[in-house]
Every structure is written in structure tokens, then in C-alpha cells.
Amino acid sequence: MHAHPSRQKFIDAAIAVVREQGYAATSVDDICARAGVGKGSFFHHFKSKEELLLAAIEHWNAFTGAVFADAPFRRLADPRARLLGYVDFRIAILDRPIPEFACLLGTLVQEVYQSHPALLAACDAGMSGHIDDLVADAAAAKALYAPDADWTPESVGFFMQAVLQGSFIFAKAKNEAEVARDNLAHLRRYLESLFPPAAKKE
């Protein structure tokens, strides 16, 4: 329904430019220039910069959702292996330039949390939706490997995401992904210890 090519160009441009510059530093003209389409068209498709970003977040959620749903690790039978596979998958992505592996939502949250409630809610919903997939695996893995542990599967999903978001910050600060790789190696080690394979209960 929302598939007009120019509209999509604006959305793709917004995701790219905001990941590089942030929300406030990105002007509508910047987005139009990146999209290669004029401002008249912009305000024909979106009634404001904020509304474009809501659409961009929606697209981001759909796109990243599909990427992870189709990733090979998703087809592993064991939920513990899927969680570790998720981490390995994120490590593999770190080869690309920083603006391509960093998270649009994490970048946005820090800028808009006091000023744009609608954007904040959309970011929260997107991140929480992504985490839900991790939580499902964490719950299944907990039932198998750590049924009596005193942490919740939900908290494991949020922890994994927090490590990722923090790692993106350090990748940006150091302008290289190695710190992020080391961080994810620690995360992987922690997950291995949370779900000790010896304890598997059939």
C-alpha cells in the first residue's frame, strides 16, 4: 500500500543519513539530496520530518526482522545454539562500515527520548519486538539447560541487546569494530555459562 518508489527513496535516505548524522543534525534537505528527489515530493508523501521517521522506523523493523528471520542460525534446532548463533551472526556483520551495522533505533533513542514521544515509542516497540525473538529462544533454552536459575529469559534478551547497543557506541568512539567483537565474545561466553550444556535435561 505504501510502496511508491519516491516514498521508499525518502525512507531509505532517512535511514542512511540519520544513522550517520543523527536525527537533529539531519535536515529535510539532506534527506531529499540523498534520495535524489525534490522537497515538493517530500512534503507530498510525508507531512513532517517526524512522520517520515516514523515510517522509516516501521520499515527498519520490517527489514531487520526479515534479515534475522531468514538468517541461517534461525534454522538450528537447539534454542541454546540459536542464541549463540545470533551472537555469531552479529559478530559476522561487524565487518561492514560502522554506519551499516549500527542500530538506527539505538541512535535515535538518545536524541528523542525527551522531545519526541511518538518516535521514542516507535523505537521502544521496535527494539522490544526484536528482543521478543531472543526471549523466546532464551525461555526454551532455560527450560532445557537452566530450569532453576533465578534470572528471567526476558532479562537475558535485554542484556544481549544492551551489550550490542553499548558495543556500537564504542565502535563509533574508536572508529573500528574490534572492541565490539571483543564485547560480543564476552557476551557469548556469558550465554554459554548461563545455559551450561552439561545440565541439559531431556
Partner DNA sequence: TATAATATACCAACCAGTTGGTATGTCGAT
Partner DNA sequence: ATCGACATACCAACTGGTTGGTATATTATA
Q: Tell me the three cell numbers of residue 66.
A: 526479515
Contacts by residues 47-51 (CB-CB < 8 Å, ≥ 24 positions apart): 50/116, 50/118, 50/119
Minimum Å gap between C-beta 110 and DNA is 18
Which does residue 61 bind out of DNA, its own copies, none, counting CB within 5 to 8 angstroms by kind? Answer: none
21 interacts with DNA by CB under 7 A: no
Q: Tell me the three cell numbers of residue 114.
A: 525527551
41 interacts with DNA by CB under 7 A: yes
- Could you say which of 11, 14, 37, 191 contacts DNA (CB under 7 A)? 37
Q: Positive or negative, the Cα torsion across 53, 54, 56, 60? A: positive
115 interacts with DNA by CB under 7 A: no
Q: What does the buried/exposed string (b/e) look like for 108-127 if buried means 16 or more CB atoms within 10 Å of the residue's CB?
A: bbebbeeebeebbebbeebb
- Could you say which of 11, 13, 19, 26 contacts DNA (CB under 7 A)? 26
Where does this chain bind its own copies (CB under 8 A)?
20-25, 98-99, 105-107, 109-111, 113-115, 120, 123-124, 127, 151-152, 155-156, 158-159, 161-170, 172-175, 179, 182-183, 185-187, 189-190, 193
